[in-house]
């Protein structure tokens, strides 16, 4: 970690009574910053606003957040910024909250190679043994991330770059740290947010970029077999960008002509700061 601030002040620790620690009672955003500027900031703040509404957490002042994120973006040429907003210090013991809590803002900057080096090597993936699914909190980027921790461990133990998760009902939800896209009969398909562990910022940007390029897109239920039958697979998050899959469940996927076009198209809008 390069530096961190809690409620605007330099800090390296958090109060023990914070509900973020006790219950994962909070939200986070991972924001990529390049040459001092945070990418997709409007989309990140829009998702944070929705998440705060879903959990009845008081959304911090947006101008304050913008200032604090901009400050973290100056830490290095490329920075990965993690913003955590918790419900704040507990006012009483137990799961219940009073509504009078003051949200805690935590801004942390991490070293990040960015896209300066080579594009990430294509991902070797497989269907996870672990079944995932928590419909109540689908899409919300909350701090309750034990399923993702267990899924990353499965990927590591199996020597994979990523595992693709399915819910008990069988539909694909996404990767352990990524959203998933399949190119099926010329259409770019991804599961609907209601099926996703996170409504990824890059997921939304890729859907929009593909439309601008004239590609058909769809958000619909995806079965693992449809991934196997697809012409190409991509994984997305703001750190890896548009990440091509080279292997899924024993099948090899050749490099696809669309990959570079999609990667470039997504970055075109990275610096628009209008709030969605």
- Where on the chain is the footprint of its own copies (CB under 8 A)? 1, 4, 6, 11-25, 28, 55-56, 80, 82, 84, 93-97, 106, 108, 110, 130-132, 134-137, 142-153, 155-156, 168, 176-177
CA–CA distance, 210 with 218 (Å, rounded to integer)? 11
Looking at the Cβ atoms of 194 and 216, the one nearer to its own copies is: 194
Per the document, the length of the chain is 276
User: At closest approach, how far in Å is the CB of 211 from its own copies?
Assistant: 30
User: At closest approach, how far in Å is the CB of 223 from its own copies?
Assistant: 20
CA–CA distance, 275 with 169 (Å, rounded to integer)? 35
CA dihedral (59, 64, 66, 72) positive or negative? negative
Looking at the Cβ atoms of 96 and 117, the one nearer to its own copies is: 96
Q: Do residues 154 and 129 make contact, with C-beta atoms less than 8 angstroms apart?
A: yes
Looking at the Cβ atoms of 143 and 213, the one nearer to its own copies is: 143
Looking at the Cβ atoms of 237 and 263, the one nearer to its own copies is: 237
User: At closest approach, how far in Å is the CB of 249 from its own copies?
Assistant: 21
Looking at the Cβ atoms of 137 and 215, the one nearer to its own copies is: 137
Looking at the Cβ atoms of 127 and 143, the one nearer to its own copies is: 143
Q: How many CB atoms are located within 10 Å of the residue 168 CB?
A: 8
User: At closest approach, how far in Å is the CB of 79 from its own copies?
Assistant: 12
User: At closest approach, how far in Å is the CB of 77 from its own copies?
Assistant: 17
Q: Do residues 208 and 268 make contact, with C-beta atoms less than 8 angstroms apart?
A: no
Q: Do residues 231 and 257 make contact, with C-beta atoms less than 8 angstroms apart?
A: no
User: At closest approach, how far in Å is the CB of 80 from its own copies?
Assistant: 7
Give, for 145, the enclosing helix (H) or strand (E): none
Residue with tokens 């993936």: 125
- Establish how many alpha carbons lie within 13 A of residue 79's alpha carbon, considering only the half-sphere containing its beta carbon: 25
CA–CA distance, 126 with 132 (Å, rounded to integer)? 15
CA angle 204, 253, 159 (to 5 degrees): 85
């Amino acid at each position: 970690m390069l530096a961190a601030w809690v409620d605007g002040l330099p800090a390296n620790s958090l109060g023990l009574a914070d509900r973020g620690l006790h219950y994962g009672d909070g939200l986070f955003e991972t924001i990529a910053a390049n040459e001092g500027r945070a990418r997709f900031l409007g989309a990140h703040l829009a998702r944070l606003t929705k998440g705060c509404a879903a959990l009845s957490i008081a959304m911090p002042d947006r101008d304050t957040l913008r200032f604090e994120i901009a400050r973290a973006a100056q830490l290095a040429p490329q920075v990965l910024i993690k913003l955590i907003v918790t419900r704040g210090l507990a006012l009483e013991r137990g799961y219940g909250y009073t509504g009078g809590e003051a949200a805690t803002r935590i801004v942390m900057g991490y070293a990040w190679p960015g896209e300066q080096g080579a594009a990430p090597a294509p991902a070797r993936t497989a269907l996870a043994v672990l079944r995932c699914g928590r419909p109540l909190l689908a899409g919300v980027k909350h701090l309750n991330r034990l399923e993702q921790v267990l899924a990353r461990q499965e990927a590591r133990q199996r020597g994979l770059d990523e595992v693709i998760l399915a819910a008990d009902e069988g539909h694909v939800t996404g990767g352990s740290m990524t959203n998933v896209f399949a190119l099926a009969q010329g259409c770019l398909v991804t599961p609907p947010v209601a099926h996703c562990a996170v409504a990824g910022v890059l997921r939304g940007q890729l859907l929009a970029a593909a439309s601008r390029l004239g590609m058909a897109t769809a958000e619909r239920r995806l079965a693992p077999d449809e991934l196997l039958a697809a012409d190409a697979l991509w994984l997305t998050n703001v750190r890896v960008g548009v990440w091509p899959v080279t292997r899924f469940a024993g099948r090899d996927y050749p490099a696809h002509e669309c990959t570079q076009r999609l990667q470039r198209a997504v970055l075109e809008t990275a610096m628009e700061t209008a709030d969605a």
